Amino acid sequence: MSIGAEFDSVLTAAQAGGDWAFAALYRDLNPRLLRYFGAQASSMAEDLAAETWLAVARGMASFSGGEDAFRGWLFTIARRRLIQHWRGVGRRPSSPVAPETLADRPGLDDPEASGLSALSAQQASAAIAASLPPDQADVVLLRLVAGLDVDQVARILGKQQGTVRVLQHRALRRLGEIFSLEALTG
Amino acid sequence: MSAGRDRQGEMGHFLIDDTTAERLLSGGLSPEDAPPGYSGLARLFEIATGPATEAELAGEPAALTAALAALQAGPTVQPAVSHRKSRLARALTAKVAAVTATVVLGAGAAAAATTGNLPGGAQTAVSDALSHVDISVPGPNKHANANATTKSHGHANGGTADGQKPSDQGPNAHANFGQCTAFTAAPNDHANSQATANANSGKDSSTAFADLMADAVKADQTSTSYCQSVLAAHAAADATDTTGPSDTGKPADTGKPSNTGKPLDTGKPSDTGKPSDPGKSASH
């Protein structure tokens, strides 16, 4: 999911008001956006994504930067939207699902036998978010689903890069335990 | 952390090194290549980063149509709202007062003040005065952009996608706002200068705006467009709830090297208010 070498010309055309170019950006990045929102506010994912694109469209003319920077900008706006949503509903999901709950299914470490492969991308993202404390979920979703690097994630979250790395290692270890055969068989 | 490949975590699971972590988080580590205990997770990550599905594109028409309408309407159109708008209006009123102040001072003096070039007493007074309208100006003995002289002759070319830093972060953001306020208020030899490098403009060639030019060059923009970004970002920062986790006290999310030259999140003016999206549910 990326535009690649054509990105600069697509961006320029979109900034000039080219519908096709903006649509190309939308088609490329909206799936990521839906997974990101779907993992954390599933019932509102499409609305939040639409609001994010509205903000992007309004700020489009003055953006400059490459494809990675654009993705970083998009998810900066997206995360702000998500936080506004959580404020509106008075909470954010805060309690990770206990490993035993998710590990109910047999053979998670054998993807083909476990039914893991039947998950959609959004369900997989939601399972990841539900398995982690909020700060770890923030990091993993922005890295994995949004496709941002450590530096970008650190800026969006207002954390040090080292902190982000620590959080992602803890998250991976926890996720590894939950989605592994060892955890199921003891 | 990177030396932990073969150590076991306190919870009994093998730790992985940074390289493996990066491959996992990119979704590019296949279950077969995953370290012991991580094949299930590798598969889960593969799924989460898989290609777009029909279902994910199904919502396209409505959301895209709304965004395209906003795109065509341009960046100046604001959603018609609300309690936030009144707050924004108050902020703008303060800015008008600030502009008035800079005009009264004389644009050159204001620019000098923002760069700390007034005599000490005057600098203090201007700094104090403008602080009442939420504009930060350095006190005496502070010089923003000491190296501006050499950089002000740079050319606005070669905007690098990797790592050029928007320079308007930290204290400079406020200095730039002050300069931009003065710049915008100052008469220009070339009215209606377009978004092309305009090194011959009377304002651009003024030493009073050398710092501004330098920052604009670094941002690969003309002073005019750069100032639009700075002013928009400043207004946006005022209008944005400062308690937001990603608003880390820095002005308007600037200074991300990888978000280089980005418009200081100038989507934020619209991002702060409720969008006019009719599809937005009010049920929270």
Q: Which residues make beta-bridge pairs with B14?
A: B8
In degrees and rounded to multiples of 5, residue A77 shows phi and psi of -65, -45
Which residues 99-118 of chain A have a CB within 8 Å of chain B?
108-111, 114, 116-117
In this complex, which of B66, B253, B268 lies closest to A50 when CB atoms are compared? B66
Q: Identify whether the C-beta of residue A150 lies closer than 8 Å to the C-beta of residue A143.
A: yes
Residue with the larger pLDDT of the pair A175 and A113: A175
Cβ <8 Å between A116 and B43: yes
Q: Give the H/E segment covering residue B230.
A: helix B223-239
In this complex, which of B9, B31, B68 lies closest to A173 when CB atoms are compared? B9
3-state secondary structure (DSSP) of residue A175 = helix
3-state secondary structure (DSSP) of residue B14 = strand
Cβ <8 Å between A173 and B261: no
Residue given tokens 């939040």 in the structure block: A48
Q: What is the pLDDT of residue A85?
A: 94
Q: What is the pLDDT of residue B278?
A: 40
Q: Which residue of B has its CA nearest to A44?
A: B281
Q: Which residues make beta-bridge pairs with B8?
A: B14
Residue with the larger pLDDT of the pair A98 and A167: A167
Q: What is the pLDDT of residue B259?
A: 40
pLDDT band at A2 (very low <50, low <70, confident <90, very high): confident
Q: What is the pLDDT of residue A94?
A: 58
Question: For B226, how many CA atoms within 13 A lie in the half-sphere containing its CB?
Answer: 30
3-state secondary structure (DSSP) of residue A167 = helix
Question: For A92, how many CA atoms within 13 A lie in the half-sphere containing its CB?
Answer: 19
Residue given tokens 């000491």 in the structure block: B146
What's the rounded Cα separation, in Å, for the pair A71 and A63? 11
pLDDT digits (tens, 9 = 90+) for A74-129: 999 999 999 999 998 887 765 555 444 444 444 444 555 456 767 889 899 999 99
Check: pTM over 0.90? Answer yes or no.
Answer: no
Q: What is the pLDDT of residue B104?
A: 39
B230 to chain A, closest Cα gap in Å: 11
B82 prior amide bond cis, ω within 30 = yes
**ipTM associated with this complex:** 0.88
Q: What is the pLDDT of residue A131?
A: 93
Average per-residue pLDDT in chain A?
86
pLDDT band at A154 (very low <50, low <70, confident <90, very high): very high
Cβ <8 Å between A124 and B44: yes
Tokens of B176: 């730039």
CA distances from B109 to B102, B112, B179 (A): 8, 5, 10
Cβ <8 Å between A62 and B228: yes
Q: Which residue of B has its CA nearest to A14?
A: B71
Q: What is the pLDDT of residue A96?
A: 55
What is the pLDDT averaged over residues A59-79?
A: 95
In this complex, which of A44, A76, A119 lies closest to B265 when CB atoms are compared? A76
| List of chain B residues whose C-beta atoms are within 8 Å of the C-beta of residue A31 | 52-53, 56-57
Burial A35-50 (b: 16+ CB within 10 A, else e): bbbbbbbbebbbbbbb
pLDDT band at A48 (very low <50, low <70, confident <90, very high): very high
Which residue of A22, A33, A54 to mutate against B (max B Cβ within 10 Å)? A54
Residue with the larger pLDDT of the pair A65 and A179: A65
Tokens of A33: 């956006």
Q: Identify whether the C-beta of residue B266 lies closer than 8 Å to the C-beta of residue A162.
A: no
Q: Which residue of B has its CA nearest to A88?
A: B284
Instruction: Quote helix, strand, coil % in chain A, to nearest 5.
Output: 75, 0, 25
Residue given tokens 């992602």 in the structure block: A168
Q: Which of B233, B214, B279, B210 is nearest to A76 (CA)?
A: B233
- How far the first Cα of chain B sits from its last, in Å, is 42
What's the rounded Cα separation, in Å, for the pair B282 and B284? 6
Q: Which of B189, B214, B205, B238 is nearest to B84 (CA)?
A: B238
| List of chain B residues whose C-beta atoms are within 8 Å of the C-beta of residue A22 | 64, 67-68, 71
Cβ <8 Å between A49 and B59: yes
Q: Identify whether the C-beta of residue A21 lies closer than 8 Å to the C-beta of residue A14.
A: yes
What's the rounded Cα separation, in Å, for the pair A132 and A144? 14
Q: Identify whether the C-beta of residue B30 lies closer than 8 Å to the C-beta of residue B23.
A: no
Q: What is the pLDDT of residue B63?
A: 86
**B272 backbone φψ class: left, alpha, beta (φ>0; ψ -120 to 50):** alpha
3-state secondary structure (DSSP) of residue A68 = helix
**Alpha-helical regions (H) of chain A:** 7-15, 19-40, 45-59, 67-89, 99-102, 111-114, 121-130, 134-140, 150-157, 161-178, 181-185
Q: What is the pLDDT of residue B56?
A: 81
What is the pLDDT averaged over residues A25-45?
A: 93
Cβ <8 Å between A179 and B59: no
Q: Is A168 on the interface with B (CB under 8 A)?
A: yes
How many CB contacts within 8 angstroms connect chain A with chain B? 278
Quick one: CA torsion of B243, B246, B252, B255, rounded to 10 degrees? 150
Q: Give the H/E segment covering residue B135.
A: none
Tokens of B152: 């002000």
Residues 6+ apart with CB under 8 A from B12: A177, A182
The neighbour count for residue B192, using CB atoms within 10 Å, is 6
Tokens of B31: 């279950």
Residue given tokens 């900034």 in the structure block: A15
In this complex, which of B11, B220, B258 lies closest to A151 when CB atoms are compared? B258
Which residue of B8, B13, B164, B228 to mutate against A (max A Cβ within 10 Å)? B13
What's the rounded Cα separation, in Å, for the pair B191 and B201? 9
What's the rounded Cα separation, in Å, for the pair A108 and A99? 12
Residue given tokens 């994010």 in the structure block: A52
In degrees and rounded to multiples of 5, residue A183 shows phi and psi of -65, -30
Q: List chain B residues with pLDDT less than 50.
A: 1-12, 77-90, 92-224, 226-227, 230-231, 234-284
